């Protein structure tokens, strides 16, 4: 799966997805976008929280079908 990191310009993608805080950092956010550009999964946590990796793996597996 291709991955995107919001590195430069700093925060531009996070800003567009509504997860950039005014302090200049974003929440821990996962967005899964399918091949047609449709967001299929959103998981947003506070920056200190660790998301459930197995849930993400299950979502990715379902999209491969």
In the block, which residue shows the tokens 């550009």?
37
Asked, for residue 19, whether it belongs to a domain, the answer is no
DSSP 8-class letter at 49: P
Q: What CA–CA distance (Å, rounded) separates 40 from 31? A: 8
Bridge partners, 43 (sequence order): 30
Domain containing 49: what range? Answer: 25-63
pLDDT at 55 over 80: yes
Number of domains, the chain: 1
pLDDT at 1 over 70: no
In the block, which residue shows the tokens 């700093």?
10
Query: pLDDT (tens digit, 9 = 90+) per residue, 7-50?
Result: 667 788 888 889 888 888 888 888 888 888 899 899 998 888 88
pLDDT at 2 over 80: no
Question: Residue 34 contacts by C-beta under 8 Å, 6 or more apart in sequence?
Answer: 40, 63
Asked, for residue 9, whether it belongs to a domain, the answer is no
Q: What CA–CA distance (Å, rounded) separates 65 from 59? A: 10
**pLDDT for residue 42:** 92
Asked, for residue 35, whether it belongs to a domain, the answer is yes
Asked, for residue 16, whether it belongs to a domain, the answer is no
């Amino acid at each position: 799966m291709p991955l995107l990191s919001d590195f430069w310009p700093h925060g531009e993608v996070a800003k567009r997805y509504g997860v950039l805080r005014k302090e200049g950092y974003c929440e821990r956010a996962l967005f899964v976008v399918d091949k047609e550009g449709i967001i299929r999964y959103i998981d947003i946590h506070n920056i200190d929280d660790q998301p459930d990796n197995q849930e993400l793996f299950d979502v990715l597996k379902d999209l491969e079908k």
